Amino acid sequence: EAGVVQSPRYKIIEKKQPVAFWCNPISGHNTLYWYRQNLGQGPELLIRYENEEAVDDSQLPKDRFSAERLKGVDSTLKIQPAELGDSAVYLCASSSGTLEAFFGQGTRLTVV
């Protein structure tokens, strides 16, 4: 069984440019999470989906961040425009409702 797949693995962009990350969760997992992990810190939740519904987006900076999970499977996370402080690893995770979450490899974003 394939794990959580994220792309791209690395992204370098100039500030003020847009960027998008893609996540394909484990098949059958109805819950999908996006986390941001700054260097030396634990992952911080940005948004949680139950199927296609965003049930917790309280930590998502909505002025520049957006996310979607249109068919309740794949998800994209977008930043527009990116700022220097957005440099981090963006992790996607999924679970089947048992709360055991499996993480993808992450996308390392560098904003210059």
Partner 1 sequence: GENVEQHPSTLSVQEGDSAVIKCTYSDSASNYFPWYKQELGKRPQLIIDIRSNVGEKKDQRIAVTLNKTAKHFSLHITETQPEDSAVYFCAATLYALNFGKGTSLLVTP
Site string for partner 1, 45-74 (x = CB under 8 A): x--x------xx-x----------------
The single residue among 21, 106, 107, 109 that binds partner 1, judged by CB under 8 A, is 106
- Give the chain's largest Cα–Cα span: 39
The single residue among 1, 2, 14, 42 that binds partner 1, judged by CB under 8 A, is 42
Nearest residue to 24 via CA among 108, 110, 103? 103
Residue 41 engages partner 1 in binding (rule: CB under 8 A): yes
Quote the Cα angle for 6-9-13, to 5°: 120
